[in-house]
Chains A and B, each alone.
Chain A
């Protein structure tokens, strides 16, 4: 049984050439980046700054998020315009743990209450903050909160057969409502400013080089694990059903498959991956605030997947890296150009590259092959 469990993902990888390339590249990055960051001196040409390492780490959490979206959109045809909400919820859960770790080192020095609560004249910790001082509990919440929301929301939506654009619109409303809610000070999540000024994680200083490298490696591991898990799911028997639902939902239902349950479980799995990505994102970036819930963010995630090429998983990773690298570069170099470029990219990709960058590359290889045969 254990054999089969392990054999599953590995067997599925055998037919997945793009995935093998991706995992090899990821392994190389995970080894090279920390080495280049710590071994050469700061003035060496080979030295990689902590800032760059942090940036790559951030992109990797985005890539996890993109994989989560590709799983439901590329394979199950569910376009969620609210996946940023799950990412942000995971991030907030991690942020709550990090806030509790600050302890007496806050501006007001209260051993229990975070600074913003003192600022609001609160005298005791709200009930939902209890337990977050312990890492295992926080980890549990990072998984459970997005999963529970996805379960409740998906259960209602899929059971009443809300699908297509209607589903997209209500997921957008969901993340919008959450954004408005988290902006409120009374919610107990720091309102407008969110959480920042973190000190420690698991007793290690967040600014220390060793902690940064460890976080980087954890993110690389998380990305690899998410990829393998999703690859396993989509190449399993259930994955076939999921693709069938994407292509002809009614037909799959008439053949006797419980369409709603399949959709629901894929949706929940995707939300958990998104939440974990958010939890890895927060300690590296050092801040989480309600703007992570904004509907525009969620649309941008979908764009990464579309640009990379949906329905391939590694395409999502490529898209997340490409778009975010371009964003970092252009917002620095040509700020006003960036939105034009991004806008044109969306239009161009949907019109001319329906299978994304990955699809275009593999397709051109395919046509070259065919050309040489004839």
Chain B
């Protein structure tokens, strides 16, 4: 649908002027010459079929009257007709002037998919050569848009009404203003009402009565609409010739008050936005670190291949999407257990093959697992190529939650916060309330004693490592929606994730959750002042200094130990 949006008022004014002249001429014509069809008879009330029949042959001026008459029918079918009319898809068959809605189809070029305009029934496809589009000009388009908005304004659905109000406010003219004022009296939905009030108040700012302007300014004092903010602040400013945007001093003072009030609201919502952005960035850190909190925190194994296990999870998502191309929406849900299995099994293999032989030699473990990470990276490069793989974002993850005019949050950010927290709670539950969790904690506290009590420590080691690795795989699924899926995905998180675990306190899941989120928020708070890179550097330096002060992190593990 083509949209005409006049940024400057002059073209709009010219258009109005030209339209006015046209209307006048058309009206004169209509009066001078009695209408050719029955539809124009003033005495007889027209019905939908007769109006539709009259449409193809009508001149632009006649069409304009026809639109008014169609609107007056208050028939739900009219909306489809008007919309098709606006979109240039209302067509008339050349041989019998029958009116259809004709959509051109991609499968059959040159053919039109027909819907009967009157009955709404499908009428098959026919060659587009047999049809004429019922033409519109810009004047009529405007008329149609207003008519559609008017139609929607009477809709029982509040969201349809809201959209209609917004549409009308884009180009307010006396006629639509009156429509809105009428609507305001009977409107019950708060958000629609508010929208109308703001729109009308904005229009009132142009009034030549200072009292009206003053009332409008006061009315707008808590609106977050960016247009309102721009208008009000331009009223308080000096223009080039030294005069104020607003001539009346009391109105100007009120406008200044309103601007201040709006700024307070704005900074409040900006703070909320920073908080949510920070939490979502922190959640990414937590995602990257939470598997590590198990393998490093609980088992004390430095797994440098942790990032590559996340990479495996991300690639699993990619493969799952390849396997089920028709169900992208469900693919993410399927990918979560799949990634857990793939990364978890890889983890068990690493533990059984390498880490098991190196317990008690953490630095050697670090080197060996770094070797694993190099091999995994190269394997992925050989199998999937060195380029990034495209992972599709399902529709239910895309989009933005528009809370108000200044606060909008993408669903991805919200989901990542919720998802991370859910994963964290699930992991916490596993560690606290399952047999495996109990045995893991027992082995971590005192391996020999646990063994003496009949715990199969080797088995517990393998499963713990598998659990931590599987969680890394799940994190990879989430990361596939946020960053590029390539062989280097893991490397970019490895320093961050170790820092988060150490910052939170090794062996403490709560520490990882709180630590990661607070680092994310701090990072976002610094960003406006320092820029993204410098903020990250500050956070790293802060972490280095923090670890000097509290070597055991935010929430140190209680217990007695020595380096022997």
Which residues of A approach B to under 8 Å, CB–CB?
73, 79, 153, 156-157, 159-166, 168-170, 172-174, 176-177, 180-181, 183-184, 248-250, 295-296, 299, 302-303, 306, 336, 339-340, 342-347, 349-351, 354
Given the interface pairs A169-B499, A177-B541, A351-B358, the reply to whether A302 lies near B551 with Cβ below 8 Å is no
Please measure, in the bound complex, the distance between the C-alpha atom of A350 and the C-alpha atom of B359, giving whole angstroms. Answer: 12
- What chain B residues lie within 8 Å of A173 (beta carbons)? 495, 498-499, 540, 543-544
The residue in A156, A164, A170, A172 that gathers the most chain B C-beta atoms within 10 A of its C-beta is A170
Q: A180-B533, A347-B354, A347-B371 are in contact. List 6 more A-B contacts (CB 8 A).
A: A156-B545, A168-B302, A346-B367, A346-B374, A350-B358, A351-B354
The minimal Cβ–Cβ distance linking A310 to chain B, given in whole angstroms, is: 10
CA A42 to CA B367, docked complex, whole Å: 43
Q: List 24 A-B contacts (CB under 8 A).
A: A73-B363, A79-B366, A159-B548, A162-B551, A165-B302, A173-B499, A177-B537, A177-B541, A177-B544, A180-B533, A180-B537, A184-B534, A295-B495, A296-B491, A299-B367, A336-B381, A343-B374, A346-B371, A346-B374, A347-B372, A349-B367, A350-B358, A350-B368, A351-B357
- Would A170 and B366 count as touching, CB distance under 8 A? no
A50 to chain B, nearest CB (A): 32
Q: Across the interface, which residues of B come within 8 angstroms of A339, CB to CB?
A: 374-375, 377-378, 381
Please determine whether A165 and B564 come into contact, CB atoms closer than 8 angstroms: no
Complex CA–CA separation, A176 to B495 (angstroms): 8
Decide: A165 near B382, CB < 8 A? Known: A177-B537, A339-B375, A339-B377.
Answer: no
Report yes or no: A177 in contact with B540, Cβ–Cβ below 8 A.
Answer: yes
Is B547 interfacial (CB 8 A cutoff)? yes
Check if B67 is an interface residue, CB within 8 A of chain A.
no
A181 vs B495: C-alpha distance in the bound complex, in angstroms?
A: 15
Q: How many Å lie between the Cα of A339 and that of B386 in the bound state?
A: 13
Question: In the assembled complex, which residues on chain A have CB atoms less than 8 Å from the CB atom of B371?
Answer: 342-347, 350
Q: Are B370 and A346 in contact (CB under 8 A)?
A: yes
Q: What is the bound-complex CA distance between A363 and B365, given in angstroms? A: 23
A161: B residues at CB distance < 8 A: 551
Complex alpha-carbon distance, A174 and B543, angstroms: 10
Residue of A nearest to B499 (CB): A173
Return the chain A residue nearest B386 by Cβ. A336
Beta-carbon nearest neighbor of B532 in chain A: A180
Shortest beta-carbon distance from A226 to chain B in Å: 23
A128–B309 CA distance with the chains assembled, in angstroms: 43
Give the shortest distance, in Å, between B420 (CB) and chain A (any CB). 22
Establish whether residues A347 and B382, one from each chain, have CB atoms under 8 Å apart when the complex forms. no
Q: Which residue of A lies closest to B541 (CB)?
A: A177
B364→A343 contact, CB < 8 A: no
Is the pair B549, A160 in contact by a Cβ cutoff of 8 Å?
A: yes
Interface of B is mostly: helix
Instruction: Find the residue from A184, A249, A299 having the highest chain B CB count within 10 A.
Output: A299
B residues with a Cβ closer than 8 A to A are 302, 304, 354, 357-358, 362-368, 370-375, 377-379, 381-382, 491, 494-495, 498-499, 502, 533-534, 536-537, 540-541, 543-545, 547-549, 551, 562-564
Interface centre among A173, A183, A296, A345 (most CB of B within 10 A): A173
Minimum CB–CB distance for B302 against chain A, Å: 6
Shortest beta-carbon distance, B402 to chain A, in Å? 34
**Minimum-distance CB pairs A-B, first 4:** A346-B371, A343-B374, A343-B375, A339-B378
A296 to B488, CA, bound (A): 12
Query: Using Cβ atoms and an 8 Å threshold, which residues of chain A touch B543?
Result: 170, 173
**Counting chain A CB atoms within 10 Å of each CB, which of B367, B495, B545 scores highest?**
B367
How far is A185 from B378 in the complex, measured between Cα atoms in Å? 32
Q: Which residue of B lies closest to A176 (CB)?
A: B495
Considering only CB atoms, which chain A residue lies closest to B382 in the complex? A336
- Contact among B368, B382, B548, B564 for A162, CB-based, below 8 A: B548
B564 contacts which of A159, A248, A347 (Cβ < 8 Å)?
A248
Q: Which residue of B lies closest to A339 (CB)?
A: B378
Complex Cα distance, B377 from A180, in Å, reads 23
| Cα(A283)–Cα(B405), bound, Å | 58
Query: Is the CB–CB distance between A168 and B540 below 8 Å?
Result: no
Residues of A within 8 A of B375 (CB): 339-340, 343-344
Q: Which residues of B contact A168 (CB under 8 A)?
A: 302, 363, 366
Q: How far is the CA of A342 from the CA of B549 in the complex (A)?
A: 37
Instruction: Assess the A354–B364 pair: CB atoms within 8 A.
Output: yes
Report the Cα distance A299→B27, complex, angstroms.
85
Give CA–CA (A306, B498) in the complex, Å: 22
Q: Is A169's CB under 8 angstroms from B551's CB?
A: no
Interfacial chain A residues near B495, Cβ < 8 Å:
172-173, 176, 295
CA–CA, A351 and B548, complex, Å: 33
Once bound together, how far apart are the Cα atoms of A336 and B382, in whole Å?
Answer: 8
Closest CB of chain B to A299's CB: distance in Å?
6
Nearest-CB distance from A351 to chain B (Å)? 6
Q: How far is the CB of A269 from chain B (nearest CB, A)?
A: 21
**Are B551 and A166 closer than 8 Å at their CB atoms?**
yes
Chain B residues closer than 8 Å to A248, beta-carbon distance? 564
Residues of A within 8 A of B363 (CB): 73, 79, 164-165, 168
Give Cα A341–Cα B302 distance, bound, in whole angstroms. Answer: 22
CB distance B378 to A343 under 8 Å? yes
Q: Which residue of A lies closest to B376 (CB)?
A: A343
Nearest CB in chain A: distance from B385 CB, A: 11
Question: A176, B562: Cβ atoms under 8 Å?
Answer: no
Asked if A165 and B544 sit within 8 Å, CB to CB, the answer is: no
Return chain A residues, CB-CB under 8 Å to B491: 296
